[in-house]
Chains A and B, each alone.
Chain A
Amino acid sequence: MTDFETFMLDAANRPAAAAARAVANASGMPYAPLVVVGPPGSGKTELLRGIAGLVRESHPGAVVELLTLDALAERYRSALLVARTEAFRGELFGAELVLMDDFERLARHPDCQGFVADLLDARRAAGKEIVLALSIAPDQLTGLDARLVRRLAEGTPVQLSLPGPEARLAILRRRLEDSPDALPDPVVRAVADAAFPSMRDYTGAVARLVAFQEASALPLSATDALMLIGAPGADLVPASPAPSPEIDEFGSFLSEVEASLSEQVDRWRRRVGEAVLRWGGEGLSTRRLEAQLSDESPGDPEQLLARYETDALEIQALAREAAELAPDLAGAQVFRDPDQIAAARAIVAQARHRSGPLSAPLPQYRWDDIAEGPTTRLPMLAARDIVEEPGRRYSPLIIVGQSGTGKTHLLHGLGNALVGRGVAPAACLGAHAFAAEVEALADPEALAAWRLRYRWVGALLVDDIHLLAGSPRAQEELQLLVGELLEGGRQMVFSSVFPLEELPGLDHRLLGRLQGGLVVELPPPDREVRLAVVKRLLSGTAAAQDAALADYLGSRPADSVRAVQGLVQRVLGEAAAQGVAPSPALAREVLEAIELGPARGSRRSGALRSSGILSPGIGLVRSREKMIDTWPGVADRLIGDLR
């Protein structure tokens, strides 16, 4: 039987024993400090030794300082004399556990009080435990400085009373563990049953009897032993004839039944105690079990244990699931307390919601493929900062640029880079999709679930935000979401064709939120950007190494990346159609022939969509339907126009 189990034998001492075990197991929050209060001889020293022993046993390398206040004062003064106070301070501040006995004696050592107060503060700040044993209640202590009184009042007091006969017997037997035959067991039991005022009297009596027995040839009887030690209960030993048989027989029967029944109940208590140790060791709160131990009329322990075990296993499973769903939830206190199973379930349910599939950045828009030129330095600088420190530098980032300037590529590429940096989940979607999601939310429950999903995103990236103009509800939700994500320090990126101040139909509150971010303009691609895009498009083709072709294509005027893509595709398509390798000559032939188009009499050149190629007045698509200028008659042209 361990020291703690000894104390567990007494209902009154179980809370103290449970707290002591919690300290020894370093489970739960530090008591900071744990204050054990008990009259002299109630076993406080025994309890402190038990804690120290258990810690040393479970953590062989741990430094445990167990000392009386007088010893501490002596060491402190010695350290002062040899100028080693800092070293002494370091020893006590750094120890895994400090246990101070006879703490009330600090009043006799006023010179040490400041040091002890500092020690309490430092250990508390470091989350390290300290246990103080006192023989009088902290509020009745006199002669302590105010800081110490306050620290004691902030601690957790537990009461320890003189152990009962069973606990005393266990303690005395443990004292005799090294020499089990030193005294006959009935003698030990008789001493334990005697009525001494303190535990010290019991251990002292046993020591005296051991000495007497060693000198005596005959084994001691219980009666002799009690007479020898002058036990207060000695005169109660029956020397007179037994009481009348009627009372005696039934009384004896009754006491046996009581003993048997108590043993069974205590056996359950031991089981509960074992469960406290087991689950406490696994880091779970065992408050429910400990409450049972301190209850004089406990409920069904089997049911309690079964229910606790069920809850404990479920909460462990929930903790594992939560850690997988959302690493930020791992280690949350709620997953260590089976009494909070409902809250844990709710949190995991939320985590499941929020981990629902969100629209992810499109993989084809790779961060590494984004071309950079002199005119895009600023937006790229901001983007790189965001990837480096998501949510901290520029959130939200607003990318403004004409159609085809690469906003979508930058937005999704940024999203992919953030995911690559571990920002998860990243919701990346177009404004029309965002609006459609919001418009589809039919009832408050669906709306709440939708909000929950987005509230937990690591990053939110919305493309073409100007398209929200027609959806006030989506604007409202986005405005709320932006507010929440800003508070959560999450990264947001939006793109728009129009500058913010020119955004039509957008709620002023949403605009206000967005204007708090960084607005960068993505201009039409400069030559460097165009060249980079061309090289990327040509890579993997027969012309991948043709620098002259790339140079020629990159030098062609184009107002958007999309237009550059059109140029390259056109040349590659023509080369494929002719069965020749793409070359500068072919490119020149294809593209400049198109530019010469107006000279051949295209009627509607100005009105046609140019796809960004800066060659006003040309027909761009080599569709037979559009090539009406080659048709012979006016009627045919008219038909073509009508189409």
Chain B
Amino acid sequence: MPLVNFTNREITCKLVYYGAGRCGKTTNLLYIHGRVPEQRRGNMVSLATQSDRTLFFDFLPLELGMISGFTTRFQLYTVPGQVYYNATRRLVLQGADGVVFVVDSQARRFDDNVESFQNLQENLLDQGVDIRSLPLVLQYNKQDLPPDLIFAPPDLDDAFNFRGVPSLPADALHGTGVFETLKTLSGLVLQRLAARPPGS
């Protein structure tokens, strides 16, 4: 997917929310969807099971309008978190310009987070993408839960953020940290515009 298309004067950014099942990826998108003016957002496509787990993926297109002469749009995706949907995850991850890795801060989900994070790296490697070269933001979700049930952001940083990428605490259900996460990732992705060969 072209990030910057000078011929059509379009900039399209594909941002993927990645993480273990039920960590809050879809909740992030739903919150964003709810705060975006109607004329700016497309229909959110969400294929979910009866148990509210994402079966395929969520897709939320955002039309940001004309910025610096470019029609700018962001496409937000989530991947299904469940282990057995890895093929879908790979598909969604293809051509991603940036990834939000949503960490479920609950202590009991720690191993799932670790497994999903490793799965992210593997899937990126499969596509020939070094995670170090891809804009990545860690979101420590569910920080609104009682402290005895969750890990604090510094503890989660110790566990996941060994590369020193931006990390933000969040409560996606109530919106805390949702737009901050999106802003941070967008900033990283847009910073790379000048470094990438145009038209690529």
Contact = CB atoms under 8 A, between A and B. Distances in A.
Interface stretch (B50-58, B83-91, B158-166, B192-200): B192-200
Interface stretch (A83-91, A259-267, A380-388): A259-267
B191 A264 contact: yes
Contact of B64 (A252, A254, A302): A254
A227 B111 CA distance: 55
Contacts of B37: 247, 250
Interface string B176-200: 0011001100110011011001110
A254 B199 CA distance: 23
Interface string A244-274: 0111011011101110111111011000000
B36 interface: yes
Interface stretch (A47-55, A293-301, A495-503): A293-301
Contacts of B187: 256, 260
A246 B31 CA distance: 10
Nearest to B32: A250
Nearest to B193: A264
A475 to B, nearest CB: 60
Contacts of A254: 64-65
B69 interface: yes
Contacts of B9: 297
Nearest to B13: A257
A262 B67 CA distance: 7
Interface residues of A, number: 27
Given A246-B35, A250-B179, A297-B69, A261 B190 contact: yes
A262 B182 CA distance: 18
Given A245-B35, A261-B193, A253 B67 contact: no
A303 interface: yes
B29 interface: no
B62 to A, nearest CB: 9
Nearest to A296: B69
A250 B40 contact: yes
B191 A260 contact: yes
B146 interface: no
Contact of A260 (B65, B70, B186, B197): B186
A262 B66 CA distance: 11
Given A245-B35, A250-B35, A267-B194, A261 B72 contact: yes
B191 A300 contact: no
B191 A249 contact: no
Contacts of A256: 183, 186-187
Contacts of B190: 257, 260-261, 263-264
Contacts of A268: 194
A258 B67 contact: yes
A262 to B, nearest CB: 5
A20 B37 CA distance: 45
B11 interface: yes
A300 B183 contact: no
B128 interface: no
Q: Size band of the B side of the interface?
A: 20 to 34
A303 B193 contact: no
Contact of A261 (B35, B67, B179, B198): B67
Nearest to B179: A249
Interface in A303-323: 303
A260 B175 CA distance: 23
B194 A261 contact: no
Query: Which among A245, A253, A263, A268 has the highest number of chain B CB atoms within 10 Å?
Result: A253
Nearest to B37: A250
B179 A300 contact: no
Contact of A298 (B35, B69, B178, B199): B69
Contact of A246 (B34, B68, B72, B199): B34
B183 A265 contact: no
A257 B182 CA distance: 10
Contact of B36 (A250, A267, A303): A250
Interface string A554-582: 00000000000000000000000000000
A249 B191 CA distance: 21
A265 B191 CA distance: 10
A81 B49 CA distance: 98
A408 B26 CA distance: 100
B190 to A, nearest CB: 4
Contacts of A301: 198
A301 to B, nearest CB: 8
B38 to A, nearest CB: 11
B178 to A, nearest CB: 8
B27 to A, nearest CB: 15
A249 B28 CA distance: 13
Given A250-B37, A261-B193, A300 B182 contact: no
Given A250-B35, A252-B183, A303-B6, A261 B175 contact: no
B70 A253 contact: no
Interface in B1-48: 6, 9, 11, 34-37, 40
A296 B70 CA distance: 11
A452 to B, nearest CB: 42
Contacts of A247: 37
24 contacts: A245-B35, A246-B34, A249-B179, A250-B37, A250-B40, A250-B179, A252-B183, A253-B186, A256-B183, A256-B186, A256-B187, A257-B74, A257-B183, A257-B186, A258-B68, A260-B191, A261-B67, A263-B190, A265-B68, A265-B69, A297-B9, A297-B69, A302-B198, A303-B6
Given A253-B182, A256-B186, 20 more contacts: A245-B35, A250-B36, A250-B37, A252-B179, A252-B183, A253-B179, A254-B65, A257-B67, A257-B72, A257-B186, A260-B190, A261-B68, A261-B193, A262-B68, A264-B194, A265-B68, A265-B69, A268-B194, A296-B69, A302-B198
Interface of B: 6, 9, 11, 34-37, 40, 64-65, 67-70, 72, 74, 175, 178-179, 182-183, 186-187, 190-191, 193-194, 197-199
